[in-house]
């Protein structure tokens, strides 16, 4: 090992790490806009899914994706794209949000939603609302028209009444299959996971043509929730987070674990710092450089930011945080978009209703895990 080269390389790299401003990347292949959506993760078994049902879910996901794509392709904002994508899923009885929300222990539908703008990290969230057709729009009104971030129950409804949002009676939110889940849960003394097998929360993340990120999440929570239980979906930092410096994330899963890990913000924070410090990559790069004197001469630490801004690093950060959720006993998944337009899915369940698209022609919707076996996507590297 050439000691002098090693120290030169190390010093140059540390200088880069200490100066985040120089860590800008210039990714010429980056899409101009990107979007990813989810409609919940969980035990989605191939043998329990009829082709008709799968087609129905895929069509609903594609409709949501199309609504978000249209906004972005026309130059609209990431915030508008997120709302446009979430609304059709809130209006569909297939997903556990808005119309298809699960029932509380008392037999009500109580809705949670949150939204965040990566430009200025302004955020809005509501929990326990019962009359608002599209809670994602109310969350955004909290962001834009109130001095607060998070409103609950009656107070949130009172605030909503002056905002011109569409309301609906309880019958709009009551779906037979969700009611049967609650009845079964009570009769057979089951947990929410036993009766639902999957989480149906919906969410979207987007990068717009101006380089801004946004994330939004909407849910009915978990079947049989009681005592005013609030999950992760409306909690900024747990179920939703967006920061132009790192990423935008929307989560679905067993909310208690996502709150404990602070999943959405944890991933974004890792990416923000990971753009400068990914120790494994750093050590690999440094050892490659120092073992080759010619390379060491040419070594340019400004090459590192491109690696730290890559899709691989984003996937690793997401998988590693989801592995922490798993280690604690929780499950679920996330969608993510980076400032370079990389879209990432990570879930430790056998499936996640999901979709993604970008300005370069990418368009896909999927239900099951990557492997035919239904293996989860998250394969943490430590």
Catalytically active residues are 201
CA contacts within 13 A on the Cβ side of 221:
27
Q: Which is nearer to ligand ASP, 30 or 125 (CB)?
A: 125
Q: What is the dihedral of CA 347, 348, 353, 355, to 10 degrees?
A: 20
Q: Say how far apart CA 58 and CA 181 lie, in whole Å.
A: 23
* Min dist. Cβ of residue 231 to ligand ASP (A): 2
Q: Directed axis angle between helix 311-328 and helix 263-274, to 10°?
A: 140
Q: Is 203 helix (H, G, I), strand (E, B) or coil?
A: strand
Query: Beta strand pairing status for 332-337 and 122-129?
Result: unpaired
* Min dist. Cβ of residue 102 to ligand ASP (A): 8
Q: Say how far apart CA 105 and CA 222 lie, in whole Å.
A: 10
Apex CA 343: angle with CA 338 and CA 344, to 5°? Answer: 105
Q: Which is nearer to ligand ASP, 128 or 274 (CB)?
A: 128
Q: For the chain, count helices (H), then strands (E).
A: 14, 12
Residues forming the site for ligand ASP (CB under 6 A): 40, 96, 199-201, 219, 221-222, 231-233, 252-255, 332
Residue 36 CA from chain centroid, whole number: 8
Cβ-proximal residues to 226 (8 Å cutoff; 6+ apart), any chain: 104, 105, 106
Please name which of 360, 242, 243 lies closest in space to residue 251, comparing C-alpha atoms. Answer: 242
The residue count of the chain comes to: 382
* CB-based contact 171:136 (threshold 8 Å): no
* Min dist. Cβ of residue 87 to ligand ASP (A): 17
Query: Beta strand pairing status for 122-129 and 150-152?
Result: parallel
Cβ-proximal residues to 67 (8 Å cutoff; 6+ apart), any chain: 84, 85, 87, 88
CA contacts within 13 A on the Cβ side of 2:
15
């Amino acid at each position: 090992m050439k000691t002098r080269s090693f120290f030169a390389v190390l010093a140059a790299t540390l200088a880069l790490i200490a100066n985040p401003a120089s860590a800008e990347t210039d990714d010429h292949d980056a899409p101009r806009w990107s979007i990813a959506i989810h409609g919940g993760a969980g035990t989605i078994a191939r043998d329990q899914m009829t082709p008709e049902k799968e087609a129905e879910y895929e069509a609903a996901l594609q409709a949501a994706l199309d609504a978000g794509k249209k906004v972005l392709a026309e130059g609209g904002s990431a915030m508008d794209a997120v709302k446009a994508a979430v609304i059709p899923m809130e209006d569909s009885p297939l997903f556990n949000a808005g119309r298809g929300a699960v029932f509380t222990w008392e037999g009500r539908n109580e809705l949670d939603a949150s939204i965040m703008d990566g430009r200025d990290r302004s955020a809005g969230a509501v929990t326990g609302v019962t009359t608002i057709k599209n809670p994602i729009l109310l969350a955004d009104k909290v962001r834009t028209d109130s001095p607060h971030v998070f409103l609950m129950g009656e107070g949130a409804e009172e605030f909503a009444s002056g905002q011109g949002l569409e309301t609906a009676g309880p019958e709009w939110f009551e779906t037979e299959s969700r009611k049967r889940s609650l009845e079964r849960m009570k009769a057979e003394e089951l947990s929410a996971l036993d009766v639902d097998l999957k989480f149906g929360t919906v969410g979207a993340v987007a990068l717009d043509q101006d380089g801004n990120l946004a994330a939004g999440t909407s849910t009915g929570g978990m079947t049989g929730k009681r005592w005013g239980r609030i999950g992760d979906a409306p909690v900024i930092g747990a179920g939703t987070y967006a920061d132009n410096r790192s990423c935008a994330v929307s989560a679905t899963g067993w909310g208690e674990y996502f709150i404990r890990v602070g999943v959405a913000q944890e991933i974004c924070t890792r990416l923000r710092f990971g753009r400068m410090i990914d120790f494994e990559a750093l050590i690999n790069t440094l050892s490659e450089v120092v073992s080759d004197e010619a390379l060491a001469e040419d070594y340019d630490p400004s090459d590192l930011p491109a690696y730290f801004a890559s899709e691989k690093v984003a996937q690793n950060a997401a998988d590693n945080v989801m592995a922490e959720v798993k280690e604690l006993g929780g499950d679920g998944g996330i969608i993510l978009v980076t400032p370079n337009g990389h879209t990432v899915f990570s879930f430790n369940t056998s499936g996640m209703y999901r979709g993604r698209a970008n300005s370069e022609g990418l368009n896909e919707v999927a239900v099951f895990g990557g492997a035919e076996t239904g293996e989860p996507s998250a394969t943490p590297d430590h």
